[in-house]
C-alpha cells in the first residue's frame, strides 16, 4: 500500500476531503488517505492533538487554513473563535505528535500564517520568519503555500524547501468560461505597486494589455486597524474609457481599498470591472461589497477555495469560486513521487492558450 497520508485540520476539512478524493484516484486506491486525529480543547482553553493511527515511515502532508475564523471551542463558560495564532499552535501540536517518526513531513498552508508581517520596521516582531523557523525546527521538510504576500520571506529558512504556487490558471479558466469577454478590449490594472508583478502575470496569461497601476497615498501619521489609512488613489496608466478591467491582488481583507480602485476606474469610464484575489477574507463582512455591487462598481469577484470564505459571501451572485482541490492534489502527488514541480509552476492551460490567441497583434 502506498505510504502517502494526509493530516487534515478541521479548519480546512472541505478542501482536504476533495484533495483526498483526487489523490485516491491518482494512486488507484479506495482507501482513505486521511489520518484521523482529535483536536482536543480543555475547559481553560488549552489544547492537544491526538493522532489516532501510526504515521511511522509515512509521507505526511499536513493541510491547514490559519484564516478560518469560524472554528470555535468552549473556554470556561463561553465559546471562543480560533484565531490564526490558535491555528498556528495546533500545527505545532501536530508536529510534536508526529515526533519525527514520519518518513517526511510537509506542511501545506495555502495562506501562509503571519505572511502580512513579513518584514520589520523599527521595534516590531517578525512573525512570519519566526513561524517558518519553528516549523522547520519541529521537523517540517517541505513548506507548500500559494500566492504568498512576499516570497522573500523564504530567506528566513534558506536551507529548507519552500514552494510558492499560484492559482492563476484555475482563476482565469473560471473567468473566461463564465464571462463573455474579449482580451482585445481587456486591461489588467494593479491596485498598487506591490501587486504590479502579479497583475502583469495575469495580463500575460490572458494575452491582454497591462493598463497601469494605482499609487496609494497614505497618512503616515495615523494607524488604523494596524495600518496607515489611504488618503487617495492616483492612477498611472493607459486610458480605461470603454474598457473591461481586471483588478488583481493576492488577498482581500476588508476590500475597501480594492473597491476604491474600482470606483476610480468607473469615474474614468471603465465598463465591466472584475476583481481577482486568491484569498477573499471579508474581514469587515460582505455588506460593503454588496453595496458596491448594487451601485455597479464591479461585475464579479473571482476567488479560490484555498482559504475560508464565509457562507453568506458564497451565496452572493457576484462571487465566483475557483476550485483548486485537484491542482493541490497534483502538487502533493508530485512531491510524494519526487517529481519536478517546474511543469506545474510554468504551465498555461489549453483553455487559456486558446483565449490568448485572440490578443492584438
**Do residues 209 and 187 make contact, with C-beta atoms less than 8 angstroms apart?**
yes
| pLDDT at residue 2, as a whole number | 85
The answer on pLDDT for 111 being more than 80 is yes
Query: How far, in Å, CA of 182 to CA of 326, rounded?
Result: 27
> What would the pLDDT profile of 84-103 be if each residue is shown by its tens digit?
999 999 999 999 999 999 99
Report CA 356 to chain centroid distance, whole Å: 25
pLDDT at 231: 63
Please state whether beta strands 273-280 and 300-304 pair in parallel, antiparallel, or not at all (unpaired): parallel
Range with the lowest mean pLDDT among 12-16, 265-269, 288-292, 345-349? 345-349
Tell the burial category of 17 from Cβ atoms under 10 Å away from its Cβ (0-12, 13-18, 19+). Answer: middle
Q: Which residues contact 262 (CB under 8 A, 6 or more apart)?
A: 247, 273, 275, 292, 297, 298
Residue 75 pLDDT greater than 90, yes or no: yes
Give the pLDDT of residue 230: 63
- Name the average pLDDT for the chain: 93
Going by pLDDT thresholds of 50, 70 and 90, the confidence category of residue 255 is very high
Q: Do the domains 4-165 and 168-322+351-356 sit in the same CATH topology, yes or no?
A: yes
**Sequence-separated (6 or more) residues with CB below 8 Å from residue 187:** 208, 209, 210, 211, 212, 238, 240, 243, 244, 245, 246
Share of the chain above pLDDT 70, in %: 95
Lowest mean per-residue pLDDT among 116-120, 207-211, 235-239: 116-120
Alpha-carbon separation of residue 348 from 25, 86, 112, 202 (angstroms): 23, 37, 24, 11
- The whole-number pLDDT of residue 147 equals 94
CA 192 to chain centroid, in Å, comes to: 18
346: confidence class by pLDDT, cuts 50, 70, 90 = confident
Tell me the average pLDDT across 39-63.
97
Distance between the two ends of the chain, CA-based, in angstroms?
Answer: 53
Residue 51: in which H helix or E strand, if any? strand 47-51
Share of the chain above pLDDT 90, in %: 83
CA distances from 57 to 19, 20, 207, 214, 251 (A): 21, 19, 46, 51, 37
- Name the pLDDT band for 361 (thresholds 50, 70, 90): very low
User: So what's the pLDDT on residue 358?
Assistant: 73
Domain boundaries, the chain: 4-165, 168-322+351-356
- Summarised one tens digit per residue, pLDDT across range 194-232 is 889 999 999 999 999 999 999 876 665 577 666 666 667
What are the residues whose beta carbons fall under 8 Å from the beta carbon of 17, sequence distance 6 or more? 8, 34
Domain with residues 4-165, CATH architecture? 3-Layer(aba) Sandwich (3.40)
- CATH of span 168-322+351-356: 3.40.50.2020
User: Is residue 354's pLDDT more than 90?
Assistant: no
Amino acid at each position: 500500500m502506498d505510504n502517502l497520508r494526509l493530516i487534515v485540520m478541521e479548519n480546512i476539512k472541505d478542501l482536504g476531503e476533495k484533495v483526498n478524493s483526487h489523490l485516491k484516484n491518482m494512486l488507484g486506491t479506495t482507501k482513505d488517505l486521511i489520518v484521523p486525529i482529535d483536536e482536543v480543547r480543555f475547559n481553560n482553553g488549552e489544547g492537544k492533538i491526538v493522532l489516532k493511527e501510526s504515521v511511522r515511515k509515512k509521507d505526511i502532508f499536513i493541510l491547514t487554513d490559519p484564516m478560518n475564523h469560524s472554528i470555535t471551542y468552549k473556554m470556561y463558560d463561553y465559546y471562543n473563535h480560533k484565531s490564526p495564532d490558535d491555528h498556528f499552535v495546533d500545527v505545532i501540536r501536530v508536529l510534536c505528535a508526529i515526533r519525527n517518526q514520519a518518513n517526511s513531513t510537509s506542511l501545506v498552508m495555502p495562506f501562509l500564517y503571519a505572511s502580512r508581517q513579513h518584514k520589520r520596521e523599527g521595534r516590531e516582531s517578525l512573525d512570519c520568519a519566526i513561524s517558518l523557523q519553528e516549523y522547520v525546527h519541529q521537523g517540517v521538510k517541505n513548506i507548500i503555500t500559494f500566492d504568498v504576500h512576499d516570497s522573500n520571506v523564504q530567506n528566513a529558512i534558506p536551507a529548507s524547501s519552500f514552494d510558492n504556487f499560484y492559482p492563476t490558471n484555475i482563476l482565469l479558466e473560471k473567468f473566461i468560461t463564465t464571462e463573455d469577454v474579449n482580451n482585445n478590449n481587456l486591461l489588467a490594472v494593479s491596485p498598487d505597486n506591490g501587486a504590479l508583478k502579479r497583475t502583469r502575470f495575469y495580463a500575460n496569461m490572458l494575452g491582454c494589455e497591462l493598463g497601469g497601476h494605482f499609487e496609494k497615498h497614505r497618512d503616515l501619521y495615523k494607524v488604523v486597524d494596524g495600518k496607515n489609512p489611504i488618503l487617495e488613489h492616483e492612477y498611472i496608466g493607459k486610458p480605461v474609457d470603454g474598457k473591461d478591467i481586471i483588478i488583481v491582488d493576492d488577498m482581500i481583507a476588508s476590500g475597501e481599498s480594492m473597491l476604491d480602485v474600482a470606483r476610480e476606474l468607473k469615474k474614468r469610464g471603465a465598463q465591466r470591472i472584475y476583481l481577482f484575489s486568491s484569498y477573499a477574507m471579508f474581514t469587515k463582512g460582505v455588506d460593503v461589497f454588496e453595496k458596491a455591487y448594487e451601485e455597479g462598481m464591479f461585475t464579479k469577484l473571482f476567488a479560490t477555495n484555498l482559504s475560508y470564505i464565509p457562507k453568506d459571501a458564497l451565496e452572493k451572485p457576484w462571487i465566483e469560486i475557483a476550485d483548486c482541490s485537484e491542482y493541490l492534489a497534483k502538487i502533493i502527488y508530485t512531491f510524494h513521487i519526487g517529481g519536478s514541480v517546474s511543469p506545474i509552476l510554468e504551465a498555461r492551460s489549453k483553455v487559456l492558450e486558446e483565449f490568448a490567441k485572440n490578443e492584438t497583434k
